Structure 1
């Protein structure tokens, strides 16, 4: 009986729907494993289709082609190590999330996912059928159990595998990022190791898909829960891990250990990677955005440059008579520090033309929010014209606080194809800017140093749609607003919870009201990267028409 086993882990970034491209990545990883003398090359959950592919997987033509691609991949990888890759499988009328084990030119085993997540961003109960609890598969004379992602968060699958002879657990994952998720993953996996007494390999994918970013961070645990290998977050890595069999069974040998960065760096990396992959996977090369001289557009511009390089980012200042000189100076200073193209497009003439056009219809009425929003909508029109003309995707710049309470103009500053800071509360926007000014990493395409002028960070936020306007004229101060939103949105708390936390009852009721009446805006808003477990879109799904209010 062999006393050594070499496993190649392929922590890679698939693209949803790119069946041949994903298969090519799998083949390249297999070739590396073959050269390294591996016994098995493993890829993540649903790697062939990309993840999370949502209802696309249910399309018969799509999942049939995906299965054909896996069969061809098995044939291509006949002469060498076994290959384990995630993809769909059909039996009769049932569709499964499966892990395909390929050896000798064919698929010799399939593991079918048993526990289907049906929470947060996952709708697997809608898409897949539940597979049975089953035993391990063999690679050579070694028996391996593969709980697929959610299966490893429950004790029954791993317990069944251990009882039926599994010698170690290989867990393929499509696990997307949210802040501080690694500890949750690690705690679950340690529990499986303690319960079964088996080594465990946690293999995650990387890369952005719409709002989700898969953060990698794959690791290997020996019995007792000790981490003996830890891969970096967000980076694509193909590496080997060796096992030795002793009197107590298989044990993984020490491998590379990469320390993970703190939550500020990980959040920023998510925003960068999400934008980079969203552009790369949809075929866009360049972006543009309106640069107001405020902090939100400053952060988005910096993220865009770090993701794509300054040569692929256009910033446009669209001033009106209400735009302060400080904003003009700050926007230009930021653009120069980032090295981006900077266009200056005053809107006063266009605004006056629109005002004149509407004057007969508005006769006898007082100027109000309507006239303020004309500025925002004119800016949106001009930015979309530039986007259409030059093929540059427009980025929108609303933070989570504004998105939550509707402090944005639909068909105006909400225009855009992607919003990198959609899940970042305003108070965190300030801190994230300070973090970026103080830190630079090799995955950033932008310049090092304090690229965001200090005055942008310290001055009172303002939409500058009327004289002396401040955000605090319409909203509670951002520390109060964000504290209330954390309770009402992230914790799904009540008005009573807000009051118990020390907030004013009237403020809580106002924020709750704004939150509910803004649902229609969020329904039409651009996607953006998920940083928390309660991001707007798939994590939080509320009706647009909703008369209920908390009377606490």
Structure 2
């Protein structure tokens, strides 16, 4: 029996950071070779460039950078180790998404990704040409096939590899997280393995890249489709796996199946990782946010502290005449509980100054949402000024439900650099608050229990202008994430008046969403790369 000692390098790459990524590959190889004599070290898709590199792939220097990185890695290969990793490669004038095999200082084989995803957050057909052939490499007497990410979602590449005599498949990935993704991957890869009677090792990257979060969770599946080994989700690390290869097939050992995270825990980890990597990779000193005493800012603060530590987080309460004493007290209590720096800065003086300056313009006009928006914009000015002075990233606190229907103020509560809850519906906000409190004291209970309010006028409640959030979120899920029509949503039991009102608000507020900060994507259809609707449009409502 031949044994392959496979190291699944669940690596956190930096997009465009060729030097950083190359150094990590070399360091990982050295650690692997100090453990065994001839390891097979497997890295994620587009390891050298990071994923997704987007229009960096159009830069003419991309080929030079790739060639230099490969040369450095090859020069560092002094032992008998093998490397499989991803990179962009131009061949005969066409750019390909490649998985390369390196051994004894040489690139001994290259596979060109065949299935290029062009949906949701993916637009690989903008950059790459598809390959059309399998690649099977003899690695220590074992015939190993290569595929890249989307190739595993289509049957043809796996079938080609089996027909080419492969005994084991390595599938390298940069597969982003959304809720339910782990089960989806396990089921799909299991089907591919069973259909081709071919064991598969699936290696995924981990880390945050702008709005995307990659959750790792690398795993191995037997030829019968059974998950035999799995690395943890959301943890960068190196996970050893032994593949025993003999005439009867391949058996995996050496790595257990990591306990699965439930959906709330996985969502929490995704938010934390997304915030941590965005702040750190963009080299911010820390973050600042407006802590209103409401549930959204309370959850945002909790995520920020988990991601960065309390010493890098500042919370600012900005009360106005409509702010309740309860909100002031709850914001202060949560700040003390989490140990963050907490300031109270009243917006009353600046609001009055603005109103005095605008008195002539507003003369004879009744108060309306203009005055409410001015409050939010005063708060935005305060936070952005702190950001500029201290080098802190402003975290906005709006949730997906509010963003969908425009329940937010441009240049006010939307002012900032990163929206932690951008893809988190309001009902899920409450669930995550309770999840976090179950881990230890964090969010005051009455923040969760009280009716949600922006506190921009006396006795204001969100439900004064919106349906109940469980109704709103169900309508939004069907319209935004499932592309259901108004008639289909009504047929599912929603009240027609609610449906038409909500869909109208969604359609009207595309202009706001286009100006919103980015935020962590946790669903299959977030606002951003996933959903690209025109602002100016004659489209009929709800079709």
Q: Please state which band the TM-score falls in when normalised by the shorter chain.
A: over 0.9
Residue 506 of structure 2 is matched in structure 1 by 515
Query: Does structure 1 conserve the Cα–Cα contact (< 8 Å) formed by 2:99 and 2:147?
Result: no
Of 462, 465, 489, which aligns to 2:480? 489
Query: SS in structure 2 opposite 1:395?
Result: strand
Give the Cα–Cα distance (whole angstroms) in 1 for the partners of residues 278 and 90 of structure 2.
Answer: 30
Report 1:192-203 matches (<5 A): 192-203=192-203
Query: Does structure 1 conserve the Cα–Cα contact (< 8 Å) formed by 2:210 and 2:519?
Result: yes
The offset of 1:550, in angstroms, is 3.5
Residue 463 of structure 1 is matched in structure 2 by 454
Report 1:19-418 matches (<5 A): 19-37=18-36, 38-418=38-418
**Distance verdict in 2 for CA 1:266–1:74, change over 3 Å:** same
The offset of 1:39, in angstroms, is 3.4
1:89-128 superposed Cα distances (whole Å, 9 cap, x missing partner): 0012200100111112121111110000001110001111
Give the Cα–Cα distance (whole angstroms) in 2 for the partners of residues 135 and 394 of structure 1.
Answer: 47
Residue 475 of structure 1 is matched in structure 2 by 466
Query: Does structure 2 conserve the Cα–Cα contact (< 8 Å) formed by 1:488 and 1:512?
Result: yes
Give the Cα–Cα distance (whole angstroms) in 1 for the partners of residues 522 and 187 of structure 2.
Answer: 20
Query: SS in structure 1 opposite 2:235?
Result: coil
Query: SS in structure 1 opposite 2:15?
Result: coil
Give the Cα–Cα distance (whole angstroms) in 1 for the partners of residues 188 and 204 of structure 2.
Answer: 14
The offset of 1:12, in angstroms, is 1.0
Query: Does structure 2 conserve the Cα–Cα contact (< 8 Å) formed by 1:494 and 1:550?
Result: no
Give the Cα–Cα distance (whole angstroms) in 2 for the partners of residues 159 and 124 of structure 1.
Answer: 23
1:214-239 superposed Cα distances (whole Å, 9 cap, x missing partner): 10111111121222211100111212
Segments of 4+ moved more than 6 angstroms? none
1:313-337 superposed Cα distances (whole Å, 9 cap, x missing partner): 1100111101011111111111111
Give the Cα–Cα distance (whole angstroms) in 1 for the partners of residues 474 and 310 of structure 2.
Answer: 35
The offset of 1:398, in angstroms, is 0.2
Residue 446 of structure 1 is matched in structure 2 by none
Q: Which structure 2 residue ranges, 5 or more long, are not aligned?
A: none
More divergent stretch after superposition (42-51 vs 241-250): 241-250
Query: Does structure 2 conserve the Cα–Cα contact (< 8 Å) formed by 1:67 and 1:87?
Result: no
Query: Does structure 1 conserve the Cα–Cα contact (< 8 Å) formed by 2:12 and 2:205?
Result: yes
TM-score by length of 2: 0.98
- Whether 1:546 and 2:525 are equivalent positions in the alignment is no
Give the Cα–Cα distance (whole angstroms) in 1 for the partners of residues 31 and 153 of structure 2.
Answer: 31
Query: Does structure 2 conserve the Cα–Cα contact (< 8 Å) formed by 1:516 and 1:546?
Result: no
Give the Cα–Cα distance (whole angstroms) in 1 for the partners of residues 130 and 509 of structure 2.
Answer: 37
1:155-201 superposed Cα distances (whole Å, 9 cap, x missing partner): 11111111112110000000000001111111221112112212110
Give the Cα–Cα distance (whole angstroms) in 2 for the partners of residues 470 and 436 of structure 1.
Answer: 25
Query: Does structure 2 conserve the Cα–Cα contact (< 8 Å) formed by 1:289 and 1:315?
Result: yes
Residue 429 of structure 2 is matched in structure 1 by 429
1:414-438 superposed Cα distances (whole Å, 9 cap, x missing partner): 0111011111100111111011000
Give the Cα–Cα distance (whole angstroms) in 2 for the partners of residues 244 and 499 of structure 1.
Answer: 56
More divergent stretch after superposition (249-258 vs 413-422): 249-258
**Distance verdict in 2 for CA 1:551–1:27, change over 3 Å:** closer
Of 526, 537, 542, which aligns to 1:535? 526
The offset of 1:42, in angstroms, is 0.9
Query: Does structure 2 conserve the Cα–Cα contact (< 8 Å) formed by 1:151 and 1:157?
Result: yes
1:282-303 superposed Cα distances (whole Å, 9 cap, x missing partner): 0012100011110000000111
Query: SS in structure 2 opposite 1:137?
Result: strand
Give the Cα–Cα distance (whole angstroms) in 2 for the partners of residues 456 and 547 of structure 1.
Answer: 42
Query: SS in structure 1 opposite 2:396?
Result: coil
TM-score by length of 1: 0.96
Query: Does structure 1 conserve the Cα–Cα contact (< 8 Å) formed by 2:86 and 2:100?
Result: yes
- Whether 1:505 and 2:489 are equivalent positions in the alignment is no
The offset of 1:247, in angstroms, is 2.5
Query: SS in structure 2 opposite 1:186?
Result: helix
The offset of 1:50, in angstroms, is 0.7
Give the Cα–Cα distance (whole angstroms) in 1 for the partners of residues 106 and 29 of structure 2.
Answer: 15
Aligned residues: 542
Give the Cα–Cα distance (whole angstroms) in 1 for the partners of residues 358 and 66 of structure 2.
Answer: 55
Give the Cα–Cα distance (whole angstroms) in 1 for the partners of residues 381 and 63 of structure 2.
Answer: 40
The offset of 1:374, in angstroms, is 0.6
1:233-285 superposed Cα distances (whole Å, 9 cap, x missing partner): 01112122112222313322252221111000000110000000001100012
Query: Does structure 2 conserve the Cα–Cα contact (< 8 Å) formed by 1:78 and 1:106?
Result: no
Query: SS in structure 2 opposite 1:146?
Result: strand
Give the Cα–Cα distance (whole angstroms) in 1 for the partners of residues 78 and 138 of structure 2.
Answer: 16
Query: SS in structure 2 opposite 1:10?
Result: strand
Give the Cα–Cα distance (whole angstroms) in 1 for the partners of residues 249 and 488 of structure 2.
Answer: 52
1:496-529 superposed Cα distances (whole Å, 9 cap, x missing partner): 1221122111111111111011101111111111
Q: Which structure 1 residue ranges, 5 or more long, are not aligned?
A: 440-448
The offset of 1:551, in angstroms, is 6.4
Give the Cα–Cα distance (whole angstroms) in 1 for the partners of residues 100 and 72 of structure 2.
Answer: 12
**Distance verdict in 2 for CA 1:414–1:20, change over 3 Å:** same
Give the Cα–Cα distance (whole angstroms) in 2 for the partners of residues 192 and 241 of structure 1.
Answer: 20
1:368-416 superposed Cα distances (whole Å, 9 cap, x missing partner): 1111111000110111001000111000000000010010000000011
